[in-house]
Amino acid sequence: MIRAIKVKLYLTKKQEELMWKSAGVARFSYNWGLGYLNDYYEENKKSLSIEELRKDFTKLRKSDEYPWLKEVSSDIPQQALKDLGTAFKNFFNGESKYPEFKKKGKCKVSFYHLNNKIIVKDKHIKLEKIGYVKMKDEGRLPVGNYKKDKIKVLNPRIKHNGKFWYLTVAFECENNQAPELTGESIGIDLGIKNLAIVSNIDKPFKNINKSKEIRRLNKKLKRLQRKLSRKYNMQKKGKTFEKGERVVKTKNIIKLERKIKLVHKRIVDIRMNHIHQTTNTIVKTKPSRIVVEDLNVTGMMKNKHLSRLIAEQCFNKFITILEHKCEWNKIEFVKADRFYPSSKMCSCCNTIKKDLKLKDRTYVCINDKCNLVMDRDKNASFNLANYKLA
């Protein structure tokens, strides 16, 4: 079982400059590798292996063309090229789109750190070419020299979330304290009006996007975006731009963009916190089996009237987090078939109501002997709980 740990870092001004430089080198290496592979394929009509690409990059790093590449750890660009290889592998397997260039200011700010070059002691962590960095850790990270003491961690990454720097690592561990399960099978129906309706919990989990704080932040975001748009329009007024020429960002534009980024971060943090609280509450009921719908989120997003509301609910993130917590607590996690009629089927007599519409929020059974009247989403959660039970 893999357990992830996230640790906040407190940096000096010089250390923060090195962090940004390391993240920039990782982005440059990825873009350089992608451009190199594209050009190589156009010239030779065949692909180049990532191993050969890494050798060519090593030659570039040793040359005097880009001297700043030597100012950061050599593992950072090499891992960025490995990540590029993974992106191509996912593309050829049909799991993702063709790799795209990473644009500064729009891509995730992160870079890799080799696991055997980490030293932890006295609430400080030593990072290569950055030095000892103070961290906020409550004894979660093992203390010692990770190379000498043979402490194994997986995929250590240093990331910036728009405000703070974090170290994320993963450990292989066993959960020997799994709770005693009730033997119950529960179903979870995800929706827009409420985030989740659970068969064994009477009260639905609310849609956090309707809360007072999120509405306030959305208004603030809209106001800041309008203000930024006006400043950009003032820059463009009366000017003609040639191809490739961009608007010069003033200090006020940079300040506004930073404020907008922090508001986005705050909204995302509130949504993620709500998802974690919801999934924790569900898992703590200790069921033996949890069934959720296999939602076609991409198809649902094509509805122009509901696309924004669906995106704000973060259904895929909810399912991923819930699946991980089920695995940790040794709860069976089941995804119901995408075409399973959980909403149209009566949870009492299994009669299917084919003419059920989206606006019908109350389910009324068409079977004269049953006549079940129930909330549509609650009925769906009961059907999911009974999915493929003998």
DSSP string, 165-214: EEEEEEEE-----PPPP---EEEEEE-SSEEEEETT-SSPEE-GGGSHHH
Tens-digit pLDDT profile for the chain (390 aa)?
A: 777 889 999 999 999 999 999 999 999 999 999 999 999 999 988 889 999 999 999 999 999 899 999 999 999 999 999 999 999 999 999 888 999 999 988 899 999 999 889 999 988 999 999 999 999 987 888 899 999 998 888 999 999 988 899 999 998 877 666 678 888 999 999 999 999 999 999 899 999 999 999 999 999 999 999 999 999 888 888 777 777 777 888 899 999 999 999 999 999 999 999 999 999 999 999 999 999 998 888 888 888 888 999 999 999 999 999 999 998 888 999 999 888 888 888 888 888 888 888 888 888 888 878 888 888 899 999 999 998 874
- C-alpha distances out from residue 221 to 59, 260, 274, Å: 46, 6, 20
Q: Are 165 and 159 in contact (CB under 8 A)?
A: yes
CA 333 to chain centre: 20
Q: Tell me if 190 sits within 8 A of 317, measured CB to CB.
A: no
pLDDT of 390? 47
**CA 270 to each of CA 54, 214, 217, 254, 263: distance values in angstroms, whole numbers, following the listed order:** 40, 8, 11, 25, 11
pLDDT tens-digit map of 163-212:
899 999 998 877 666 678 888 999 999 999 999 999 999 899 999 999 99
Q: How far apart are the C-alpha atoms of 383 and 171, rounded to whole Å?
A: 37
- CA dist 161 and 322 (Å) reads 23
Q: What are phi and psi of 273, to 5 degrees?
A: -60, -40
Using one digit for the tens of pLDDT, what is the confidence trace for 128-147? 999 999 999 878 888 999 99
The pTM of the full predicted model, rounded to 2 decimals, is 0.83
